[in-house]
Structure 1
Amino acid sequence: MLSRYDGKERTRYRLSNFLDSHQRSKLLNFDASPAPLIWLNVEKFTTRRFHALMSRNPLLRPRRAAAGLTAVLSLLAGGLLASSPAYAATATPGRFLLVGGLLSQNVAVHGVAKDGTLSKVAGSPFAASAGFSIVVTPDGKNAYVATLTGSSITGYRIGADGKLTAIPGGKVGTGAAVVGLALTPDGSRLFATMGGGENEVRSYDVAASGAITKTTAPPAAVPGDSALSLPALSPDGRFLFVTSTLLSKVTSFAVAPDGRLTLIGQYPTGNVPALPAVTPDGKFLYISNEQGASLIGFAIGADGTLTPTPGGPYPTGDLPHGAAITADSGRLYVPTAGSGAVEGFRIGADGALASLPGSPYDAPDGMPGRTILSPDGKVLFLADVFSPGVTSRVHSYNVGENGGLAPTGLPATNTGVLMNDGPSAVLTPDQGPTASVRVVSAQGGTGFFSAAASSDPDGRIVRYDWDFGDGQTLTTTEPEVAHTFTGAGPRTVKVTVTDDEGCSTKAVFIGQTVSCNGGPRATATVTAP
């Protein structure tokens, strides 16, 4: 979330430039909030990027801002601000990028090709009361949208063609603005942070049909007064971490099987902590300190306690925002909306961050707000909060072997949504492979085995790891092997498969949505005579 307050007087562009007090109150669901909760900081942004953006689009010039945005919203409602056309590239089956628009109240959906090319889904963007958060189920079939103005959580079915349709029973009223969402790695439970005076976390069960119902667990209060909080779950689902924007703290909760939350502790962060992310190995939590121009890291204890990582907080450019972490927990990328860049860090064994070669990496004019990594970690997508063309654009970078970023050269994609803020840009997960193995023949002490019936729903299998049960192992790129056993007697032969995006036996999760829906189905066994 873009926010600003450090007690200093400086030029700011606020929601009051665009919306009157009644509209702001309705948007943020605060009945008597005289001050806007989202400010566009222009300390450095003013001198360079903001004036560039303003000069390129007369609708955004300061003197015409109020009327300008009204016109923009009217155009959006009439469908006159079209998003980018489709490009001639084959999307990965079932792989889509969802981008929410806070001010336009809709969600854009684009198909995603392996090289990072985005193709607009017919009918996108789709009407939805989008807020700060969107999560997608591990199977990639359902999305849940946090709603600020409608005080609800709404579920949408993601069709095979990427179109969004409302899920029967997939909407639940909350009576308060929903700020953030986190979905458990198995997709069975949803945690939601409430804004305004509620300042609490609620839990919801997610049925196989996609319907959501409130659990029997009571809401858990977040200590102190923080109107804007965002959640992140540990990959094992045992702990929930909630940032407190106004308090500059993060709260840790233990998660019971029934969704009940027990307070573990509250820990200082930097100034205005916003978007949290957890490493897929579950060892570290990182939080963007929006007004501290830094990231802070914590080691996650076995009991859910948090300990600051060495050398933190780690300096960044202005307004660090939504970070992405690689599947191997080795690197982190964070956009800096006020500086117009993406910064890359190597994550040390102790959680300390060190800048990657060439970091920071320039971003196109606009306000970069969210980084999203492809499941294989080879492409990084960058979603703008605002872009020179008013509506948010998505840019793409190739990720080098050393972690460095280089633009793909693909054209920026206009999503057609206005103001993508918070963790509301997400890729549908890579679906992990399913292993199958059989004995082709056995002669004497030699067996011939085939895993050719193994499958991957959205790609191909590129690696087979064999364990022959006699102490010998083998890795192949082909599904058939022959093996001569040591010793006599039946053996259990095991094969584990990995797909072309690196997904195998484990899910990859950084706090809100799974990016690789791996699991035990990637392993199969057979008894060799």
Structure 2
Amino acid sequence: MNKQSVGGTSRRGGGPVRALAALATVAALILGLISVPSTATAEPGASQAASSNPKFLVVAGTEMGKVVVLRLLDGGGLRKVSEQSTGNGTMSVKVAQNGRTVFVGNMLDQAIAVYRISDSGRLNPIQKIGVGGVPVTFQPSPDGKYLYVANGLGRLKTLRITDSGRLQDTGHSVDQLNATLAPMVTVDPNSKFVRVASAFEWGIKSYRVGGGGRLIPLGTVSAGITPVNGNTTPDGKFFYIAHEMSMDVRGYRILKDGNLAPIGSWFSGPISHEVQITADGKRAYVPNAGSFNITGWNIGKNGRLTPLPGSPYASDVLTMPALVVLNPNDKYLYAIDVFSPGKLGTTHAHSFRINPNGSLTKIGSTDLGLLVVDGPVAQLAG
């Protein structure tokens, strides 16, 4: 097992684990290309933006081990302010509830790097901590107490987030669904329940959070073909998840005991990635990399989805939106491409205005200077 260290990770646990890390990175990239799941995800609906007034968009390049930071401009535009190397095989970026602590998961390093973002958008290193495997994806709890990590070896680990932003291993871990290369983790807005979606088993497993962050297994429900990470409405009533190969979004009612009950399914588009939900809980958006567009819905009081006016909304020609990030003011949406073949190379972030009826109007595009952006690697911060 890797041990916690400052400024680096222990060299123990190489060999087979490092080989698994390399395999996981290659598999994740290939899967994203052939419509089998990427590990796309983002914060749960109510806490997607870690603060109510974020200043930056943080995006990592999957294959480059590099993170770029963009400032959110008045009017919805973006401006690149910094970039830096953060590790090898970056597949997950998350921001704690304080808006300042940034977690970057590097699979080939078998570690999570922790940073504090400055007022200027610079990432200042705090710590690197080994996770005893491959940090495929992870999720901070909205209450700011814990980080739940899928370590790529069939375990879901609980790390404590300290006041300084450093991570401590609680010693708590549970078996997850048997999807070591592509588990997806979400936490409900009330921080009481954690969910793992298994892209290879086509299921969603729920856990209740006990004392000290200990996870208590609940039930498992079926999902569609190759689910990517899900999201929960801010009121904690409904859970939605998109599927790359069955090209739909499925909705579930969250029961009092934390288990899920199916509501229905709705067509989204080819290579659908993670659902994002507005801060008011009234609308949901899904990027469709295979059709170069974004699908939007109204969320009814019964949890059922109805299309927004003009949906789906086209991105630029031959750009493949893999992630959407919503500003908590519910005025702007940012779509990040997994590839941008229509832009002749590096990936782009596209800004959209969210109109009063929920429809989207394109504002502009910003070159990220990254080759591949796939997985849960874009978050608001500051």
CA distance in 2, matches of 1:320, 1:118: 24
Q: Distance in 1 between matches of 2:27 and 2:199?
A: 18
Cα pair 2:65 2:86 within 8 Å, conserved: yes
* Structure 2 residue matching 1:258: 3-state secondary structure: helix
Q: Between Structure 1 and Structure 2, whose CA radius of gyration is higher? A: 1
Question: In structure 1, what is the equivalent of residue 326 of structure 2?
Answer: 373
Amino acid at match of 2:248: S
Q: Could you tell me how far apart the structure 1 residues matched to 2:167 and 2:32 are?
A: 33
- 2:294 paired with 1:342: yes
Question: Structure 2 vs 1, CA of residues 225 and 326 (structure 1 numbering), >3 Å: closer, same or farther?
Answer: closer
**Partner residue, 2:167:** 212
Aligned partners of 1:125 and 1:415 also within 8 Å:
no
Runs of 4+ in 1 over 6 A off after TM superposition: 33-36
Aligned to 2:200: 246
Checking the alignment, whether the CA contact within 8 Å between 2:111 and 2:135 is kept in structure 1 is: yes
Indicate if the aligned counterparts of 1:332 and 1:345 stay in contact, CA closer than 8 A.
Answer: yes
Q: CA deviation at 1:93?
A: 8.3
For the residues of structure 2 that align with 1:257 and 1:390, how far apart are their CA atoms?
A: 48
- Once the two structures are superposed, the pairs formed by residues 146-225 of structure 1 within 5 Å of their partners are 146-167=105-126, 170-195=127-152, 198-217=153-172, 219-225=173-179
CA–CA distance in 1 between the matches of 2:210 and 2:35? Answer: 43
Any idea what SS the aligned residue of 1:38 has? helix
Q: Distance in 2 between matches of 1:34 and 1:318?
A: 19
Which residue does 2:33 correspond to in 1? 40
Deviation of residue 134 (structure 1)? Answer: 1.1
Q: What's the TM-score once normalised by structure 1's chain length?
A: 0.62
Distance 1:119 1:280 in 2: 29
Tell me the distance in 1 between the aligned counterparts of 2:244 and 2:272. Answer: 5
Per-residue CA deviations over 1:187-232 (Å, capped at 9, x if unaligned) read 121111122xx11210111111111110132x11013345310111
Per-residue deviation at 1:322?
A: 2.3
Secondary structure of the structure 2 residue equivalent to 1:108: strand
Q: Which of the numbers 188, 193, 203 marks the counterpart of 1:234?
A: 188
Query: 1:193/1:406 Cα in 2 relative to 1: closer, same or farther (>3 Å)?
Result: same
Query: Is 2:368 the counterpart of 1:415?
Result: yes
Contact 1:380 1:397 in 2 (8 A): yes
Match of residue 268, structure 1, among 222, 231, 247: 222
Asked if the contact 1:176–1:194 (Cα under 8 Å) also holds between the matched residues in 2, the reply is yes
Q: Deviations over 1:302-359 (max 9, x none)?
A: 11110011xx221111011122211111100100011110000111111111111100
Distance in 2 of aligned mates of 1:109 and 1:227: 27
* Alpha-carbon separation, structure 2, partners of 1:111 and 1:35: 28
Shift of 1:36: 7.3
Query: Are positions 1:386 and 2:376 aligned together?
Result: no
Contact conserved, 2:273 with 2:289, CA < 8 A, in 1? Answer: yes
Q: 2:360 aligns with which of 399, 402, 405?
A: 405
Mapped to 1, the partners of 2:370 and 2:322 lie a distance apart of: 14
**Do the aligned residues in 1 keep the contact of 2:239 with 2:254 (CA within 8 Å)?**
yes
The one of the two structures with greater contact order (alpha-carbon pairs below 8 A, sep at least 6) is 2
Task: Give the match for residue 94 of structure 2.
Answer: 135
AA at the equivalent of 1:190? L
What is the alpha-carbon distance in structure 2 between the residues aligned to residue 404 and residue 104 of structure 1?
Answer: 34
SS of match in other structure, 1:132? strand
State how 1:54-203 maps to structure 2 within 5 Å. Answer: 95-122=55-82, 124-129=83-88, 131-167=90-126, 170-195=127-152, 198-203=153-158
- The alpha carbon displacement at 1:175 in A equals 2.9
Distance 1:378 1:147, change over 3 A: same
Distance 1:130 1:206, change over 3 A: farther
The offset of 1:129, in angstroms, is 3.5
Q: Tell me the equivalent position of 1:427.
A: 380
Distance in structure 1 (CA, Å) of the matches to 2:302 and 2:355: 24
Tell me the distance in 1 between the aligned counterparts of 2:373 and 2:27. 23
**Matched-pair contact (CA < 8 Å) for 1:94–1:162:** no
| 1: CA distance, partners of 2:326 / 2:312 | 17
Aligned partner of 1:331 in structure 2 is 283
- Cα shift readout 1:474-505 (whole Å, capped 9, x = no counterpart): xxxxxxxxxxxxxxxxxxxxxxxxxxxxxxxx
Mark the CA change 1:313 to 1:28 in structure 2 (over 3 Å): closer, same or farther: farther
Q: Which amino acid aligns with 2:116?
A: R
Structure 1 SS opposite 2:144? coil
- Give the partner amino acid of 1:156: Y
TM-score of the superposed pair, with normalisation by structure 2: 0.86
Gaps of 5+ in 2: 1-14, 37-51
Q: Tell me if the contact between 1:145 and 1:155 (Cα under 8 Å) persists in the aligned partners.
A: yes
